[in-house]
Amino acid sequence: MPPSHNRPTTAVVGGVVSKLAPSAVQLVLLLLVARRAGLDDVGRLALASAVAFLCGNLAEVGTMTSLSLPKAYFGVASPPLRATRGVRWAGALGGTLLYAVLWAAGLGSHETVFLAALALPALLALSFGYAGALNATGALGLEGAISLVESGLMVGLAFAFFPVMSPVAAALVALSVGRAAGTVARAVAVRTRPRSDEARIEGALRSQLGFLATSAAIVVEGQADVVVLGFLGGTFALLGVYAPLIRTCYATFLIAEGLTLAMYSFDEGGLRRWRARGLAVGVVAAVAFGLLAEPLLEWVLDRTLHDLTWPVVLLALLIPVRFYGYVLGVDLVRAGQQAARIPALLVATVVLVGGAIAGWQTGSLTWLSSFRLASEFAIAGGFLLAVRRLRT
């Protein structure tokens, strides 16, 4: 089997697991913190992990995608880890620095517990790049296995740290230490896979900087409302409900991300089959979320929640829209037109910022969910226009 191609089933399973496992761990940690502390601490953990992942995804500067498709973006058959080492490490350090700047600017009201996640963005950025290299060499299944072991380690570490530090700090340190172990495991794994040993590839830095704008637009849009709420006073309790609800909804999006990650290396026949399957999965996921979100959230937070009907319905409607957007995005990325996604993402970000302000002023989950649904329609509509231009 050529190193640039994954077996479709193994690739899909590995891609989905690699996306779902970290989100599942964070949901478990939210549950554990809810059992040991109050709703405000759940909000603190949700905010810190969301911002750490935002900074980590920004710091990755698109290497998960570009290293998954080395021929398309670097002109070489195998991922050029050596030629991209400088930009990957610089990006990783920049991610941690960005997290520190956001904290210094007032994120989380300057509470020192948020500094427990300071190293997490850098570790995330490096591990995402290694995951892309594994994908390019037909080892996305191995990436899924590493994610599973890494996730189990994080939960175990949290239990070990709970007796010696606060619940929020224990969870954040567990996330960081577990991700450090996973990053090392991925670095070792890629050494056994085909890779380009060229020290320099013409245009490699320019290619990654081109990805930076797109990655920034995607990542900021995904967390814009949560981050804005993190800078506004008195929002920890609101975040304690909204962030887990969004995380539960986003768990279904991660299935779409895993599918699209696998689709990058499919031939045209496989791509056509998985497009239709991906949309079908989105509809099923929406129904499942609509039925299970409220009881699951009440179980996680260990309390009865009121006025969740409309937020759950709105977010359920959002899921197939997001899946459709991901399917459209695959065509743009495979064509090297990732920047064509930026206008729609910028519009969606503005919508989410407005939603965060409305939600803060009203304390309403319904307003937050309404604006998030509107943002997804903006993305899907913008991607559709971009794909139509690509095909004409």
Q: What is the pLDDT of residues 154-163, one digit of tens each?
A: 999 999 999 9
- 99 pLDDT higher than 80: yes
Tell whether 134 is covered by a domain: yes
- Report the run of H or E that residue 109 belongs to, with start and end: none
Residue 200 sits at φ, ψ, to 5 deg, of -150, 135
Between CA 223 and CA 53 the distance in angstroms is 9
Map tokens 């700047």 to a residue.
101
Between CA 391 and CA 32 the distance in angstroms is 49
What is the three-class DSSP state of 243? helix
Higher-confidence residue of 238 and 18: namely 238
121: its two tokens = 């963005």
Tell whether 271 is covered by a domain: yes
* Average predicted confidence (pLDDT) for the chain: 87
Between CA 272 and CA 74 the distance in angstroms is 25
Return the ∠ at Cα 39 (arms to 36 and 40), rounded to 5°: 105
Between CA 358 and CA 360 the distance in angstroms is 5
Higher-confidence residue of 7 and 385: namely 385
* Residue 346 CA from chain centroid, whole number: 17
Q: Across the chain, how many H-helices and E-strands are there? A: 14, 0
Range of the domain at 284: 8-391
Please give the C-alpha separations between residue 296 and each of 34, 261, 291, in angstroms, as whole numbers. 13, 28, 10
pLDDT of 247 reads: 82
Query: Based on C-alpha coordinates, what's the Rg of the chain?
Result: 20
Tell whether 205 is covered by a domain: yes
229: its two tokens = 């709420």
Tell whether 326 is covered by a domain: yes
Of 28, 68, 47, 87, the closest CA to residue 248 belongs to 28
Domain count for the chain? 1
pTM, 2 dp: 0.81
Q: Note whether 38 and 167 are within 8 A (CB).
A: no
Mean pLDDT of 332-360: 87
Tell whether 3 is covered by a domain: no
Between CA 94 and CA 102 the distance in angstroms is 12
Q: Which of 5-19, 258-272, 353-367 has the highest mean pLDDT?
A: 353-367
How many CA within 13 A on the CB side of residue 246? 26
Between CA 259 and CA 255 the distance in angstroms is 6
pLDDT of 325 reads: 86
Residue 96 region, left (φ>0) first, then alpha (ψ -120 to 50), else beta? alpha
Q: Roughly what angle, to the nearest 10 degrees, separates helices 204-231 and 236-263?
A: 160
Tell whether 126 is covered by a domain: yes
- 4 pLDDT higher than 50: no
Tell whether 1 is covered by a domain: no
Assign 102 a pLDDT band (cuts: 50, 70, 90). Answer: very high
Q: Note whether 58 and 214 are within 8 A (CB).
A: no
Mean pLDDT of 32-46: 93
* Burial (CB count within 10 angstroms: exposed 0-12, middle 13-18, buried 19+), residue 31: middle
pLDDT of 3 reads: 41
Tell whether 2 is covered by a domain: no
Structure confidence by residue, pLDDT tens digits, 194-203: 888 887 877 6
